[in-house]
Chains A and B, each alone.
Chain A
C-alpha cells in the first residue's frame, strides 16, 4: 500500500438510508481500486457481522483504506469510513463523520430522501463536511431521477447538474464517482508541527491483542513505542503497533496527520477506548481534547435473565465478552424475586437490545428472558435528593416522590403528505409536542416533534411504519428531561407481584394499559395444570383482572406398540417448549409474556 502526502488523502463516508445501496457501492469502490476481486456473490465488505447482514444495518463503524490511481497518474489514498445506519447509533455516526472531510450523500432513485438520510446529512453539514450528492439505482425501471434530483436540490441547495448518477449494482458511474472524490472532497487540513491528536471513531476487540481503537490522526503523528494518553480517562498506554486498515490490518512505522488507521495500545477493555475520545502524546499533551466527546450513554434498560437458572454463569460470561467489544453496552447484576439472578442492562435503543439478546442466545446458546424495556427516570425526592431510576422495581414509594422527569427526544418524521394526519394523531397519542412541518418537495414532508423517549421504545416505530405503508421514516436525538406524572403498574400472578413485569407508565394511561396487559397475558399464557389469576395493580389497588383456565387434557389417549416412540418424541418436544418458559411460582410464563407487554394492541 502506497503512502502519499496528506494532500493526496481523501477521508469520506457514505450517508444513506438502509437499503439505498451503501454496501453495494462500497463493494464496487473496493473492486475498482483492486482491494477485492470483484464478481457476483462477493460478500459485502463493510458489514462483517452475521447479524448486521441479516438486519441490513451496520452496527458499528468500520473503515477501509484503498489506493486510487487518478487518470493523470496521481496516486491517492482513500479512507472510506462506514457509519452505522440506525437511529440507535446516532452518536457513533457523529464521531465517524468527525473523522472525514467529505460525505457521499447516496439516495435511492426509486425511493427518494428518507428521515435518516436527512438527520445524518444535517450532522455532516454541521461537522463542516463537503457533500457529494449521488443518486443510486438509476438502472431500476421504477427510478424517478428527476423528482429525486429535485428533492436533493431542495435539501442541500446544489446545482442539479452536480448530482452524480450511479448504479452501484451494475457499476455504472462508479469510476466517475471515484474520480470526482479527488476533485470534490477536500484533502485533510493538517498541522504536522502540532502535538499528536487522534480521534477514536470505532473500537474493536481482539482476543489476543485487546482493544484496537480505529483512529483518524488530526494533528502530529503516532508511532509504535510511544506513550499515548487517552483524554477522557487520563490513562496512559504504550503503543505496541500502529497500522493501516487495508483488507487486513497492515502495520506501519508511523501514522501521520490526515491518515486513518489503528493502534494497539495494550489495553484489555474496549470500555477504556471510547468512541469520540482524543488520543494525545503523553510527553506533549494538548490542553484541549477534540470537541464532541460524550460518555457512552445507554437510553433503554432491560433485565436479562437466563430462562434456566443454571445458565447464569454462561450469561455473565457472554455479557462480559460482548461488553469487551461494545462500549455502549452497560450491565450490572440484578436479582428478581420472579426471575432469579440476572443482569440489568443498558442499551442505545431497542434495536441494540435485540441485537445483544440475539447474539447472547445464538453465540452463547442461551435462552433469555428480557423484561419490558424502560427508559431512565430522574426522580426528585421530598428530601431534595435526586436519583436516577432505570428499574421500575426501584422507583421510590409515591409518598417520597416530589417529581419525576423522563427523557425526551427531538424527533423528525419524513413522510409523503397523505399520511401526515394519521402520523400526527399517532404522535399526539404518544404525548408528542408538535413543533413544525417542512416540505422537502410537494411529495415529502418533515414533521418535527418533541416526544418522550419512552413512547418511542414501545411500538411507535412499528406503528409509524404500518400506518404509512412503510413510507414514513424516523430519526431522533436526545433532548433533555421533562416532568411527567407517572405511576408504577404491577402485575400479579396468582396473587404474587411478578417484579419483572412491573412497568412505569403515565398516570392517565395506567388504567388502559393495565387492562391491555392483563388481556394480552391471558392470551399468551398457555393453559396449565392450575388456573392462573392475572391482575394489574397500582399502589396495591387492583385495576384489572383476567384468568387463564386450568388445562384439563394434555395426553394422547392411545398408546400401543407403534405409538411409544412417537409419544417419546412428542414429550421431548413439549420439554423443549417448557425450557423456553420461565416457572414463576406455579406458573409457566412464556417469553412472549414479557414482549406482549410491549405490543399494546
Chain B
C-alpha cells in the first residue's frame, strides 16, 4: 500500500438529532473515555496489518457523531500517533499558511465541528493539535428549521464560530447545509445559502434530507405528521445553490460540494476517485482498492471487540467487475471533471450517450463527458441508462 486516506469516527453527540441515521450515541463520559482508548488501539493494530502497514497517509478526517466533543489534547495525541505509525505525505513541505500555522503537516486534516459554544472554545486547541480544516454542521440559518432539526445553535452563533475559527488560525472552513427540509422553502433556503457564503467560507457541502429508517423523522413521515421531502422543491433549491455559489466564486466540483479553487475536499475526493481509505471507529468503512470493509456500528460492541483483541469488522464485500464499472461510472460522474473519452467508451452505451447529449443531460467539456450541472440531481437515472 503506497498511500491512503484515514477516517476516524467519533460517534458521540450531546443529543441525538431526530433525522440522524449515523452511527452515533449520546455522550456518556465513561463510555467516551473507553472509546477514545480503543481508537488508539485500533490504529496501532491496523498499522501492523497489510495492506496498511508501511503506508503513507494522504489525508485525515475526524467525522461523527460530533468529533468536536473530543478534548483537543486527545486529537493531538491521535495525530501524533498517526505520524509515528505511518509515513505522512509531504511531511517536510511547509504548512499551508505560514503566518498563523501552528499545524505540523501540509496534508489535509479535517475535523467536523458543531458551531455550539462548548465546541468553539476548543477550536484553538484543535488547530494547535494539527487540524487544519473545520467542517461545521450548520444545516440551516433559519430558526424554525433549526428547531425542527433539533439543533441547538443559532445563526448568530455560527458567525461567532467562524470568527473564532479564523482567529484560531483556520484558513480552510467548510459549512454543511441541508435542504428538502419539511417547511423549508426556496426562499428560506436561499437566505441560508446567502448567509453561509457571506461568512466568506472556503467550502460548502450540501445535502438533501433523506428519511432514514428508524429515526423519529421516519416515524413522523410514516404517521403523516411530516410531509415526505418534495423532490421538486429540492430541484428548485438546487438551482438556487448553483446560482449563488457561482456568484461567490466557488467551484461546483462535486454534485453536492462547492469549494474555492484549489480548496476542494481532498479527503472526500478520495472516495469519489476510488483511492484506498482506512476507517477506524465504529461503523467506519475501509477500501483497499478492491474490497470494501466495515466495522460494527454499535459503539459498545465495537469497544469490546477491539478490547478483547478481535477484529471489529463485521462485513466485507469484494467487487465484481460489473460492480467496479458501475462504481466508476457513478463516482466519476459525481465529479465535475467527468469522464475522459476512453472511459466513456469503456463504461457507457454509445447510443445512450448520444441520446443524453442531445437532450442536454450530458455535455462534452474540455473533451471530457460530464453531467450538465442543472441536471445533476438526475444522476441515478442517467447512470442506470448509461451503464453498459
A contact residues vs B (CB 8 Å cutoff): 528-530, 551-562, 564-565, 567-568, 570-571, 574-575, 578
Contacts and interface: CB of A to CB of B under 8 A. Distances in A.
B131 interface: no
B379 A554 contact: yes
B78 interface: no
Contacts of B208: 553, 556-558
Given A529-B359, A552-B231, A552-B235, A560 B376 contact: no
Interface stretch (B100-108, B147-155, B182-190, B326-334): B326-334
B380 interface: yes
Q: Is the interface of A mostly helix, strand, loop or mixed?
A: loop
22 contacts: A528-B381, A529-B359, A529-B382, A551-B231, A551-B378, A551-B381, A552-B232, A553-B232, A553-B235, A554-B231, A554-B381, A555-B378, A556-B208, A556-B210, A557-B207, A557-B256, A558-B256, A559-B255, A559-B271, A561-B277, A562-B294, A565-B317
B203 interface: no
Contacts of B3: none
A555 B376 contact: yes
Contacts of B220: none
A365 B194 CA distance: 55
B72 to A, nearest CB: 24
Contacts of B271: 559-561, 564
Contact of A568 (B232, B272, B326, B377): B326
Contacts of A529: 359, 361, 378, 381-382, 385
Contact of B283 (A552, A562, A564, A565): A562
Interface in B340-388: 359, 361, 376-385
A575 B359 CA distance: 22
Chain B interface residue count: which class? 35 or more
A554 B361 CA distance: 13
B307 interface: no
Contacts of B378: 529, 551-555
B292 interface: yes
B58 interface: no
Contact of B231 (A553, A559, A564): A553
B234 interface: yes
A559 B334 contact: yes
A482 to B, nearest CB: 49
Nearest to B236: A552
Contacts of B384: 571, 574-575, 578
Interface string B206-243: 11101000000000000000000001101100100000
Given A552-B235, A554-B381, 9 more contacts: A552-B234, A557-B377, A560-B268, A561-B279, A562-B294, A564-B327, A568-B327, A571-B326, A571-B380
A366 B122 CA distance: 62
Contact of A561 (B256, B285, B326, B377): B285
Contacts of A553: 208, 231-232, 234-235, 238, 377-378
A570 B380 CA distance: 9
Contacts of A530: 359
Contacts of A557: 206-208, 255-256, 377
A568 B210 CA distance: 17
B161 interface: no
B281 to A, nearest CB: 11
B19 interface: no
Contacts of B379: 554-555
A554 B371 CA distance: 13
A565 B361 contact: no
B42 to A, nearest CB: 16
A530 B361 CA distance: 11
B381 A567 contact: no
